């Protein structure tokens, strides 16, 4: 199975900060990577697919980049609604696998 | 509006069985793969199983092969997951997730149904 490792596991930041989360795959997943946002008690929400394509309706402050084994999710200016857990997912090879999640909390 | 709504969760003893269901609406159901993704309490997301739009292709993560069976009824726009030989480690929120048009990511998720397995 392809292992997905996110860093950091927890990130403390303030409103307006630029935030970057890294996702590393144990082998190449090409650009077949998605990012999700999840708030406590809620279902995940798709943010980005194919590594860098923004899902419709997602604010442009979210940006995804990378290919192969290293990917990043950047939030250009953190907003109050962005405090949540973010997870990456590879869909290059079955079984689809997720990173362990990165919790973005208020500093 | 796309909607997926899970049901069927509950508390069960180890070794028992449950059948989870997902009712979908707002899209052409048989054109899309459907999936089950679970999340143990305080843990990350884990893809469990997927099924192609026609139902001809089914896929499972190793830890559930032989115990879980995914199926769909395209005439009723429903997705099921039959879970047998339940273990404590199967305790989780189970989400029904719609597959994207192209690619194995998930563009719509239900609110989940909770499965609790006691030993």
Taking only the tens of pLDDT, chain B with its 119 residues reads 999 999 999 999 999 999 999 999 999 999 999 999 999 999 999 999 999 999 999 999 999 999 999 999 999 999 999 999 999 999 999 999 999 988 899 999 999 999 999 98
Measure A4 CA to nearest chain B CA, in Å.
11
Cβ–Cβ < 8 Å for A47, B109: no
Looking at residue A9, what is its pLDDT? 98
- Strand partners of residue B108: B98
CB atoms within 10 A of CB B95: 24
* E strand or H helix at B25: strand B18-25
Contacts of residue B111 in chain A, CB cutoff 8 Å?
42-43
Residue A23 has a pLDDT of 98
Mean model confidence pLDDT for chain A = 97
Q: Which among B60, B105, B112 has CB closest to A46?
A: B105
Beta pairing, strands B18-25 & B78-83: antiparallel
Q: How many CA atoms lie within 13 A of A62 on its CB side?
A: 22
The residues of A whose Cβ lies within 8 A of any Cβ of B are: 1, 32, 34, 36, 38, 42-46, 49-50, 55, 87, 89, 91, 94-101
Rounded CA-CA distance B17/A23 in Å is: 36
The reported pLDDT for the residue numbered A98 is 98
pLDDT score for A24: 98
- In sequence order, the 6+-apart residues with CB closer than 8 A to the CB of B106 are A34, A36, A44, A46, A89, B35, B37, B97, B98, B99, B100
- Residues ≥6 apart with Cβ < 8 Å to A22: A6, A7, A70, A71, A72
Nearest to A43 among B35, B95, B103 (CB): B95
Residue A26: pLDDT over 90: yes
The Cα–Cα gap between A64 and B100 comes to 18
Q: Residues A76-100: pLDDT tens digits? A: 999 999 999 999 999 999 999 999 9
Counting one residue from chain A and one from chain B, the pairs whose CB atoms sit within 8 A come to 59
Q: What is the pLDDT of residue B119?
A: 87
Which residues from A are below 8 Å from B110, CB to CB?
43
Is 90 exceeded by the pLDDT of residue A28? yes
* Number of C-beta neighbours around residue A21 at 10 A: 22
pLDDT digits (tens, 9 = 90+) for B85-112: 999 999 999 999 999 988 899 999 999 9
CA atoms within a 13 Å half-sphere pointing along the CA-CB vector of A77:
3
Distance from CA of A8 to the nearest CA of B (A): 14
């Amino acid at each position: 199975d392809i292992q997905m490792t996110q860093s950091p596991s927890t990130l403390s930041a303030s409103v307006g900060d630029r935030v970057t989360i890294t996702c590393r795959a144990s082998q190449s997943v090409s650009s077949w990577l998605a990012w999700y946002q999840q708030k406590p008690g809620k279902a995940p929400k798709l943010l980005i697919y194919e590594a860098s394509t923004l899902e419709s309706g997602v604010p442009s402050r979210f940006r995804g980049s990378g290919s192969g084994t290293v990917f990043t999710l950047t939030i250009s200016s953190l907003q109050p609604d962005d405090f949540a857990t973010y997870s990456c997912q590879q869909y290059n090879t079955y079984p689809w696998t997720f990173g362990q999640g990165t919790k973005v909390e208020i500093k | 509006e796309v909607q997926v709504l899970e049901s069927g969760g509950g508390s069960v003893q180890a070794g028992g069985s449950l059948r989870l269901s997902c009712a979908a609406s707002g899209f052409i159901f048989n054109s899309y793969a459907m999936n089950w993704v679970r999340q143990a309490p305080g843990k990350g997301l884990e893809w469990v199983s997927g099924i192609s739009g026609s139902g001809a292709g089914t896929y499972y993560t190793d830890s559930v092969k032989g115990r879980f069976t995914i199926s769909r009824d395209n005439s009723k726009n429903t997705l099921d997951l039959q879970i047998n030989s339940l273990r404590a480690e199967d305790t989780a929120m189970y989400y029904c997730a719609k597959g994207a048009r192209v690619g194995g990511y998930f563009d719509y998720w239900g609110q989940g149904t909770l499965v609790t397995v006691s030993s």
